[in-house]
């Protein structure tokens, strides 16, 4: 068979796989990632925004947010990247990089925290000769900063971050992991934002200039001056996982209003935090020494 004939035969399979979507343990759903990056874009310094523009592929239409779900598709051809979306703990409510950050073969650093540091490092070579594909580095980084803020991306090994915990979300069968990736966001959009992601993003941006404005300094506070604070973000996430995501949940439980109304504020805050921190990381990378003087303001 000629190669192009073989390729044609493969096409239906590719479409089927696309329809089925990635296997369990994807990340914030597509919308979560887009929202994180839409928030980040608003807080980029001029220099950082220019570097991001220069790195984005043409298909991005000049918007980082359109590329932020990319890493979930990339898992299909970059199998090694799958473990970079999350990190698990041995059923404890704390995170230790040396203990937890590895892939199933025990390779150190192969987890979401290591990945954020890895792709940050790579992007520091922007403007110099480098063997890395910095377009991919940027798309990975933007995605993983989102993921590390999803509490169940820093969950327990035993239940794969809530993937093996079956629940009902109102009437629908879901996994606990999926509830935190997508369902809480969907229900919030339905209940509060006229089913619109754009309205939800606007509301989050409003809160950042309003009720949350005093918190931003804390969120961007990062002891680690040059690298990232991904380690701290993972520690926060496992705390939220224990105190909110897993709390009072058992197999086959039905989760409804009680759960939703006490958890959606956490989800909204994590999306906003991820956006602010992604901007902070990119400003530091691309705006060098000035970055710490850049007030985090809407440009
Ligand atoms: C770092 O990035 C390179 C290039 O994408 C990749 O091969 C490697 O697995 C990454 N390691 C981590 C820990 O992210
Ligand atoms: C860099 O990665 C992007 C996305 O995978 C790809 O489209 C592009 O061709 C790559 N560039 C180079 C020079 O390999
Ligand atoms: C909600 O969205 C619908 C279309 O989806 C629109 O017709 C309606 O005006 C919107 N309502 C508000 C309050 O924005
Ligand atoms: C959960 O429900 C499934 C069937 O939907 C059942 O097989 C399983 O035993 C139940 N597990 C628990 C712990 O109740
Ligand atoms: C966002 O702001 C609105 C309006 O001020 C407020 O009602 C809401 O509680 C805030 N959301 C969060 C999660 O702080």
Domain 25-288: CATH class, spelled out: mainly alpha
From the CA of 157, how far away is ligand 5's center (Å)?
33
CA of 91 to the centre of ligand 4 (A): 22
Distances from the Cα of 148 to the Cαs of 100, 151, 186, 291, in angstroms? 14, 7, 20, 22
3-state SS, residue 87: strand
pLDDT above 90 coverage of the chain, percent: 82
Helices H, strands E: what count in the chain?
13, 5
Q: Which residues lie below 8 Å from residue 132, measured CB to CB, with a gap of 6+?
A: 122, 125
Q: Which residue's alpha carbon is at the smallest distance from atom 7 of ligand 2? A: 57
Q: How far apart are CA 149 and CA 234, in angstroms?
A: 7
Cα of 62 from ligand 3 centre, angstroms: 28
pLDDT tens column, 158-176: 999 999 999 999 999 999 9
The answer, yes or no, to whether any atom of ligand 2 lies below 6 A from the CB of 135, is: yes
Would you kindly state where each structural domain of the chain is located, as residue ranges? Answer: 25-288
Element (H, E) at 89: strand 87-89
Q: Using most ligand atoms within 8 A of CB, pick from 76, 135, 137, 140 the residue to mutate for ligand 2.
A: 135
CA proximity to 286, closest of 128, 115, 111, 114? 128
Q: Is 167 helix (H, G, I), strand (E, B) or coil?
A: strand
Determine if the pTM surpasses 0.75.
yes
Instruction: List pLDDT tens digits, range 63-74.
Output: 999 999 999 999
> What ranges in the chain are assigned the alpha helix state H?
3-20, 30-42, 46-55, 70-74, 97-100, 112-123, 134-149, 176-178, 184-192, 197-209, 216-220, 230-240, 257-286
Q: Work out the pLDDT band at 220, boundaries 50, 70, 90.
A: confident
């Amino acid at each position: 068979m000629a190669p192009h004939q073989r390729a044609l035969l493969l096409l239906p399979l590719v479409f089927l796989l696309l329809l089925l979507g990635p296997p369990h343990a994807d990340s914030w759903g597509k919308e979560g990632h887009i929202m994180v990056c839409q928030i980040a874009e608003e807080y980029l310094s001029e220099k950082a925004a220019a570097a991001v523009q220069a790195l984005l592929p043409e298909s991005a239409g000049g918007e980082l947010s359109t590329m932020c779900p990319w890493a979930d598709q990339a898992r299909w051809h970059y199998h090694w990247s799958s473990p970079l979306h999350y990190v698990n703990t041995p059923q404890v409510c704390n995170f230790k990089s040396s203990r937890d950050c590895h892939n199933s073969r025990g390779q150190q650093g192969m987890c979401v925290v290591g990945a954020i540091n890895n792709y940050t490092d790579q992007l520091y070579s922007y403007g110099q000769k480098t063997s890395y594909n910095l377009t991919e580095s940027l798309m990975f980084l933007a995605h993983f900063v989102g993921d590390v803020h999803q509490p169940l991306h820093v969950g327990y090994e035993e239940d794969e971050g809530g993937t093996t915990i079956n629940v009902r979300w109102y009437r629908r069968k879901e996994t606990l992991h999926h509830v935190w990736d997508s369902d809480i966001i969907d229900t919030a959009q339905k209940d509060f934002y006229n089913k619109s992601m754009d309205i939800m993003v606007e509301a989050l941006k409003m809160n950042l200039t309003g009720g949350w404005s005093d918190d931003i300094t804390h969120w961007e506070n990062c002891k680690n001056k040059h690298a990232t604070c991904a380690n701290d973000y993972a520690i926060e996430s496992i705390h939220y996982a224990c105190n909110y995501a897993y709390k009072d949940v058992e197999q086959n439980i039905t989760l409804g209003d009680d759960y939703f109304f006490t958890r959606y504020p956490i989800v909204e805050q994590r999306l906003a935090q991820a956006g602010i921190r992604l901007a902070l990381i990119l400003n530091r990378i691309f705006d060098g020494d000035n970055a710490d003087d850049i007030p985090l303001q809407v440009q």
